[in-house]
Amino acid sequence: MSLHTFLPGGAWAQRAERLLQALQAPAQLAARVYVGAVFFRSGLTKLRDWDITLALFQDEYHVPLLPPDVAAVAGTAGELALPVLLVLGLAGRFGAAGLSVVNAVAAISLAELADAALTQHQFWGSLLLALLLWGPGAWSVDAWWRRRRLTRGV
């Protein structure tokens, strides 16, 4: 649907639409960097003191279907690897989908989650959903790779 549907005025609406389109790539990059940094820092925190991480997964985080030690390794690995993919926009939708799972499991597995923390998880989830639906954007390795393939005729 075009912006012309909502805004009369022809040339003004066209300029506004071009501006909004120009802002998509930097907005997608900002979302990727923001969410990626949140999860990457969380993964680094888990690595700093592995004994505490294991204790948290045994006592606080009740991850469904996984033993605590497996959940700790999987969660930490996901929080360290998936943000790198997301920020680079390399398999960007895969990174967004994986972090969506990590985010959902984190929100579900905590027995008591404060309202402010739940709001953060919902915000991160909405950004990840947008990146999953619309992709990592023009400023991503995925887009670069697609352009490169098109110019080579592959």
**Rounded average pLDDT over 126-136:** 97
Confidence label for 88 from pLDDT (cuts 50, 70 and 90) = very high
The pLDDT of residue 25 is above 80: yes
Handedness of CA 57, 59, 61, 62 (dihedral sign): positive
Q: How many whole angstroms from its chain centre is CA 147?
A: 23
Handedness of CA 64, 58, 40, 84 (dihedral sign): negative
Non-local (6+) Cβ contacts of 57 within 8 A are 63, 68, 69, 71, 72, 75
Highest mean pLDDT among 10-24, 32-46, 58-72: 32-46
pLDDT of residue 12: 86
